[in-house]
Chain A
């Protein structure tokens, strides 16, 4: 299991890997928004929580089709399915590797980009906490979507359409945490709900992803 995790990390950071793709997209979105909306700091402060969370969500979505597709194309997925490693573990490891290469850099970069959007001071801690607790759900849900669409040519569109509705609760509670936090209000309730969504997806979706993979490998 650790071997698969290490291999996925190594593949992500080497040439042609997806590391940095999501981060660069997140950067582009948040840097461009002030140009589009205008330099009114009041408006930017109001929309900052939503923009930051939306940017993070779309950045996660961007690299999802790589989760299983590359392994499927070169035959590794067949070999993994016949290995002693259960497909449930494969799916869980893939989700973890996706989070470490995509979600974790977003958590670290978000406060810096928050400055660009004039996020109010009390919001930074909540921003990092909400992204740290919320992005694992994005990876878990996305891995399930990737398992459903593995093997489809140009499956990226279908993957986005399948996954986006499932991302909505995470987006709502994640952005709500930052909005309330930035306004100086207590945000522990939406944060707890966000953590609940994440725990539920981590506990259930690797099994769903493995079932989808078994069907798609036939």
Chain B
């Protein structure tokens, strides 16, 4: 599924963070976002996912194509691993959870409450959610946090399989996932000079 981003400007709160971001994304392609802390990787991903409206520029993608995974795992501690996955599968109208369970080796944990999992296990469950969404474009923010080496490899394999199936991914990460189809987008040139965004409401209120 194609996605085209043209001259995008993003803001976090009342500060403009990025300006002039442009890139195409084609099926089977992975885009790795690089940039120092605070440069706006999370803001860009949230804008692409539709959580924050862009200040200017265009994001052209099919509706409901993007699955977003942020820093927070989005898990309910009181629900079991299987219940968490089934809930999201139901919300996204996806298929069963079996593929997701096997891709992230969660079979032995299915009946455990998510609150009793370790940080790495929670992350695996959170990433497994991507597979049950059935969405084509994955927007991932630091997906490998608290994963050990073998699980990073498992995650890279899942992304690889997703790309091979015609999906695509935009990933903010600092480690090398070893994906052959990955292009690197360094966002430091797009960092805006922290211009305050003019807001008609607050301008009016404080005029």
Interface positions of A (Cβ within 8 A of B): 2-4, 7, 10-11, 14-17, 73-76, 78-85, 217-218
Q: Do A76 and B92 form a contact, CB below 8 Å, given A7-B87, A82-B68? A: no
Pairwise interchain contact A79-B53, C-beta atoms closer than 8 A: no
B50 proximity list for chain A (CB < 8 A)? 81-82
Q: Which residues of B contact A75 (CB under 8 A)?
A: 70-74
Please provide the 4 A-B residue pairs with the shortest distance between their CB atoms, ordered closest to farther. Answer: A75-B72, A3-B90, A75-B74, A14-B78
**How many Å from the CB of A89 to the closest CB on chain B?**
10
Complex contact B87–A82 (CB within 8 A): no
The CA of A85 and the CA of B87, in the complex, are separated in Å by 13
Chain A nearest Cβ from B117, distance in angstroms: 13
Main secondary structure of the interface of B (DSSP, over half): loop
Q: Are B78 and A16 in contact (CB under 8 A)?
A: yes
Q: Which chain A residue has the least Cβ–Cβ distance from B72?
A: A75
Given contacts A11-B78, A74-B74, A217-B52, 5 further A-B contacts (CB under 8 A): A7-B79, A78-B72, A81-B50, A84-B91, A84-B93
What separation, in Å, do the CA atoms of A78 and B69 have in the docked complex? 9
Residues of A contacting B67 with CB < 8 Å? 82
Known A4-B91, A83-B92; contact A78-B78, beta-carbon cutoff 8 A? no
Residue of B nearest to A85 (CB): B91
With A3-B87, A81-B51: A76-B74 Cβ-Cβ less than 8 Å: yes
Given contacts A7-B79, A76-B76, A78-B68, contact A218 B53 (CB under 8 A): yes
Is A74 a contact of B91 with CB atoms below 8 Å?
A: no
In the complex the two chains form, is B76's CB within 8 Å of A7's CB?
A: yes
Once bound together, how far apart are the Cα atoms of A84 and B93, in whole Å?
8
Closest-CB distance, B164 to chain A (whole angstroms): 24
Cβ of B91: which chain A residues have Cβ within 8 Å of it? 3-4, 80, 83-85
Instruction: Looking at the assembled complex, report how far the CB atom of B87 sits from the nearest CB atom of chain A, in whole angstroms.
Output: 5
Whether B131 is near chain A, meaning CB under 8 Å from some CB there, is: no
CB-CB nearest in chain A for B78? A14
Query: Is B62's CB within 8 Å of the partner chain A?
Result: no
Residue on A nearest B68 in the bound complex, by CB? A82
Identify which of B51, B86, B87, B129 contacts A78 (C-beta below 8 A): B51
In the complex, what's the smallest C-beta–C-beta distance from A152 to chain B, in angstroms? 14
Tell me, yes or no, whether B190 is within 8 Å of chain A by CB: no
Residue of B nearest to A72 (CB): B72
**With contacts A74-B73, A75-B71 known, is A82 near B66, CB below 8 A?**
yes
**Sampled A-B contacts (24; CB under 8 Å):** A4-B87, A7-B76, A7-B83, A7-B87, A10-B78, A10-B83, A14-B79, A16-B77, A16-B78, A73-B72, A74-B72, A75-B72, A75-B73, A78-B68, A78-B70, A79-B68, A79-B74, A79-B88, A79-B129, A81-B50, A82-B68, A83-B92, A84-B93, A217-B52
